[in-house]
Structure 1
Amino acid sequence: MSVDGWNTVLVLGGIRSGKSEFAESLVADAPTVRYVATAADAPADDAEWAARLAAHRERRPETWTTEETAADPRRLADVLASAGPNETLLVDDLGGWVTVLLDPAHQPADDTATIAELAAAVRSCAARLVLVSPEVGLSLVPTTPLGRAFTDALGAANRAVADACDAVVLVVAGQAAWLKPGAPHPATVPAQAGPMQAGSAQAGSAQHESAQPGPAQAGSAQAGRAQTGAPGVPGGAGASVAASEPSPDVFTPTPPAAPEAVPGAEPTGTAWAAPTMALPMVATGLVIQPGMELPMPDEYAGPQAIERLATLDVPGSGLGVLERAVGFAAATQGTVTPAPWGRVRVLLLHGDHLGDAAAGTVEGESARRARQARAGQGALARLAAESGAELQVVEVPTSAPMETEPTLTGEQVEVALRYGWRLAEEAADAGVRLLVLGACGAGTEAAAAAVLVATAGAEAPAVLRRVVTDSDEIDDPAWMRRCAAVRDALHRTRNSPRSAKDVLAELGGGDVAVATGVLLGATARRLPVMLDGPVGVAAAMVTRDLAGQARHWCLLADHGGHPAVQLGADVLGLTPLLDLRLDLGEGANALAALPLLRSVLALAAALPAHPSLGGGEDDEPDTVPDTDEPDFREPEPAGPGPTSTEPDFREPEPAGPGPTSTEADLREPGGAGPDTEAVDPSGRRAG
């Protein structure tokens, strides 16, 4: 049940680093948790340690169950292998497990083979699994032989388990740093009592049982002891991004009572206009850079869902091309019976491009569209109201003229990417199941065309559609100026690198950069995105160099007849589901198609299999109950003739010589009717 970007995670940390509290926060949303305690009971002469373990047991939530594996180290692998996909396990900790493994009572044993068995069990575990382990590799080498044996064995176990897990996080002084990319939800480590107050823990912070060191480890640093936390791990998400200013408001539009004036003034600032240093680095240490390893959709659920459609009880041939929507939803939800997208959020990016990229546009028109959306007016807001979708209008800084200078600085690109990532994370944390990405800035089509030219080898005139004025007249001079702007921008950057961030800085601008961050953040959180228009497609092209997995989380409902969208979709392998050629504005096209896609998913999930394949059906009763309804059966004929209204298809008896029946007569002589004669086996008449 990989709901947050990981299914198995290893939490490492030193003594009192906060690793246990962080691990517990990762499973706080689970209805039940199997707490696997690996430590042996405290010896009789250690009353303080026994009291600490007792306090840890008492603080666990009542919904948690505890399972102990200290009696047999190999039992831990069996517990993990037998766990079901709907279970959540918390193993605390591997230090205690290694201590028991090295206990003379369990020797001689092949420690290397046992660690390999554990790693294999972690790799194949179907449950959601969190393992806690002390990180002893940063300490001094123990002075005793058995102390060194403990650190060596624990280090080997940590390496093997880390390789088997989807994600690995290191907690240092209450701060979480993700070493292996994952995308779990934000977690906060609660404040913890001091070392001398272990008996009075904070409520809700379920502490673990760790190893009681054996006599051979008396000279070591008590590496197997219980790890208790330090206060203050801020959002422990694998890709959490902090921001210096609040995000734009999110609201669910409702149909306006009256179409009077559109109120509201354009905001004066943007949420990410501050310098980079005002926007902290990604809290986990993850840097947005080329070659990131982000999650992929379920490779089996999609094809299996499409195969299942062929078995449904439908009177026709099925869902046609909309089967792809079912396959996409199944892969991104990880189930063969995907549910219709419930909570949907539209991100409308508003940011203009200066220069000839915006040739032919009415000054202030894009700002009016943004204000209109905020006021619940216009096509986008009304369609959002009809479908119950949320709407978030995101202001991005104005981009410089591409033909004369870079559209953004390198610093602005970094901030824009993190800002878009954070918008996607906030949506995922709020329970959004589908993002719709659109834009309404002036010059966005030329910027997207420039990105496609740089990344796909296109020609500007081929991907820039004609400019149409408000009076439905074609403005060819404006179109030529846009083409010239793209041409000049490509000429200016002919010797520049073509890396993702360079393309965004030189050509893409603020809206494409933020959209790129949104796609990356949504991918990290396993959140599908419906693209609508050239900005989203251009952003998807850029993500290929940063994280190739992002395009597999994108869905294109309709290309709208836009040449840039058609070309980008072809390069990305995104086949549009529909060919309605909608042109209602970015975001609105997707919302217009959303009810149809929801209906398809609901139908695919609800229909049973065809009766010929074992599905159920409502059969007619064998007998008709007495009723006052009239009997519509045909009356029996009064005269001679057949007693049934159905025609008699029997062949007439021949008048002349020949067989007396069209069927082979195998009856004995004398058994024929009055008008028939016996025949011999050869078929000739007898006699």
Structure 2
Amino acid sequence: MRFTIPVPDAAAHAAARERLDGLVKPVGSLGRLEELAAWLSAAHGCVPPRPLTDVRVVVFAGDHGVSALSAYPREVTGAMVRVFLAGHSGVNVLAEQVGARVRVADIAVDWDVSDVPASVLAHKIRRGSGSIDVEDALLPGEALRAFEAGLSLADEEISTGADLLIPGDMGIGNTAVCAALVAASLGLPAAEVVGAGTGVDSAGLARKVEAVSAALARAAGRVEDPFERLTALGSACAAATAGFLVQAAARAVPVLLDGVFSGAAALVARDIAPGAERWWLAGHRSTEPSQAFALKALGLEPILDLGLRLGEGSGAVQAVPTLRAARAILADMGLLADLT
């Protein structure tokens, strides 16, 4: 599978830097805001960048066979999808503050769907994923199907007007899967990438390290190919998120990565479509160690560091006002040359 990934506009980036240096302020005095303003200019191909008026969050929901390692039972995943649909989750509340819309997609939730809207189930791949310490997460071909579901979800959001995308996640056991994917992608031992996730104690953390170590040993020799990596160690949600990220880049739409889940998926997405990472920003720093390794490998520096570990897209949503502020300094600040 090959993708044509456009290159952000270098001329627009240079023009933005020139204008930033000429604004009514000391050169470089707005720090990271100036970097983000130039990045957005390159992404949009114009100075100033276009307003970020239509922000979309897509929450990829699914269950994982390693959910027994979590501090919360597996049934929470399905229950939380209902909370998203009711508009009362953390990301719902936080997204409302910045005018972002939230959509939830059931990719692999293991639950009773008799009363769930068809739109939520439109891209469902399976019910749950295998327990990666003892078996593959997915059956042959399912990683590609899930990846294509992610492509489709990105297309749906972009074709209806999205100008900034945020991938969210919901699934008990997510952080163990992320640790395995990051470790396999970067050749790291489990002990370096496994974190407390939902808040397991020291004994739970030790069990988690043991499970991820077993998963890495079981999948040894199969992780070079990104789709094999997703099949052996990932999940349908991770594969769908990777597809979402690749298609956003292919269509030149900026993405704000959220926490550890989108970071792990981004590593795989970069391997599938090199250069796609030029269209992504890291919204915030997660407390999970595997995210730090993923972002370093991707060359991304988080915009915010608030100690968040909720997931759902909630951290990236908080970075939207910062991006809008970065655009505003290019659009609305005066020039030194105009002073009399």
Query: Does the alignment reach a TM-score above 0.5?
Result: yes
**How far apart in 2 are the matches of 1:308 and 1:333?**
16
Secondary structure of the 1:514 match is helix
Give the Å deviation of 1:467. 4.7
Q: Determine the structure 2 residue equivalent to 1:452.
A: 182
2:335 equivalent to 1:609: yes
Tell me, yes or no, if the aligned pair for 1:530 and 1:556 is still in contact at 8 Å: yes
Q: Determine the structure 2 residue equivalent to 1:422.
A: 152
Give the Å deviation of 1:571. 0.5
Q: 2:323 aligns with which of 593, 597, 600?
A: 597
Q: Determine the structure 2 residue equivalent to 1:436.
A: 166
Q: Which residue type is aligned with residue 451 of structure 1? A: L
Q: Determine the structure 1 residue equivalent to 2:219.
A: 493
Give the Å deviation of 1:356. 5.5
Q: Determine the structure 2 residue equivalent to 1:375.
A: 86
Q: How does 1:319-468 map to 2 (within 5 A)?
A: 319-355=30-66, 358-397=69-108, 398-467=128-197
Q: 2:208 aligns with which of 482, 501, 504?
A: 482
Deviations 1:122-181 (A, max 9, x none): xxxxxxxxxxxxxxxxxxxxxxxxxxxxxxxxxxxxxxxxxxxxxxxxxxxxxxxxxxxx
Give the Å deviation of 1:555. 0.7
Normalization by structure 1: what TM-score? 0.45
Q: Aligned pair count?
A: 321
**How far apart in 2 are the matches of 1:352 and 1:506?**
15
Tell me, yes or no, if the aligned pair for 1:380 and 1:588 is still in contact at 8 Å: yes
Q: 1:311 aligns with which of 22, 27, 34?
A: 22
Gaps of 5+ in 2: 109-127
Give the Å deviation of 1:468. 5.2
Deviations 1:18-41 (A, max 9, x none): xxxxxxxxxxxxxxxxxxxxxxxx
**How far apart in 2 are the matches of 1:296 and 1:465?**
35
Gaps of 5+ in 1: 1-288, 620-687
Tell me, yes or no, if the aligned pair for 2:222 and 2:229 is still in contact at 8 Å: no
Secondary structure of the 2:103 match is strand
Deviations 1:412-454 (A, max 9, x none): 1121111100111111111100001110111111111111111
Structure having greater relative contact order (Cα 8 Å, sep ≥ 6):
2
Q: How does 1:280-319 map to 2 (within 5 A)?
A: 289=1, 291-314=2-25, 318-319=29-30
Give the Å deviation of 1:316. 8.4
Tell me, yes or no, if the aligned pair for 1:356 and 1:485 is still in contact at 8 Å: no
2:250 equivalent to 1:533: no
Comparing 424-433 and 584-593, the one that deviates more: 584-593
Q: Determine the structure 2 residue equivalent to 1:569.
A: 295
User: In percent, how many aligned pairs have the same letter?
Assistant: 33
Normalization by structure 2: what TM-score? 0.89
Secondary structure of the 2:235 match is helix
Q: Determine the structure 2 residue equivalent to 1:585.
A: 311
Give the Å deviation of 1:579. 2.6
Give the Å deviation of 1:563. 1.3
**How far apart in 1 are the matches of 2:319 and 2:182?**
25
Tell me, yes or no, if the aligned pair for 1:339 and 1:605 is still in contact at 8 Å: no
Task: Please tell me the root mean square deviation across aligned C-alpha atoms, in Å.
Answer: 1.9
**How far apart in 2 are the matches of 1:364 and 1:316?**
53
Give the Å deviation of 1:315. 6.8
Q: Which residue type is aligned with residue 89 of structure 2? A: G
**How far apart in 2 are the matches of 1:579 and 1:418?**
32
Q: Quick one: structure 1 residues 407 and 337, their matched pair in 2 at CA, closer, same or farther if it must change by over 3 Å? A: same
Q: Quick one: structure 1 residues 311 and 535, their matched pair in 2 at CA, closer, same or farther if it must change by over 3 Å? A: same
Q: Which residue type is aligned with residue 458 of structure 1? A: L
Q: How does 1:139-150 map to 2 (within 5 A)?
A: none
Q: Quick one: structure 1 residues 369 and 356, their matched pair in 2 at CA, closer, same or farther if it must change by over 3 Å? A: closer
Q: Quick one: structure 1 residues 467 and 520, their matched pair in 2 at CA, closer, same or farther if it must change by over 3 Å? A: closer
**How far apart in 1 are the matches of 2:14 and 2:266?**
23
Q: Quick one: structure 1 residues 313 and 357, their matched pair in 2 at CA, closer, same or farther if it must change by over 3 Å? A: farther
Tell me, yes or no, if the aligned pair for 2:58 and 2:168 is still in contact at 8 Å: yes
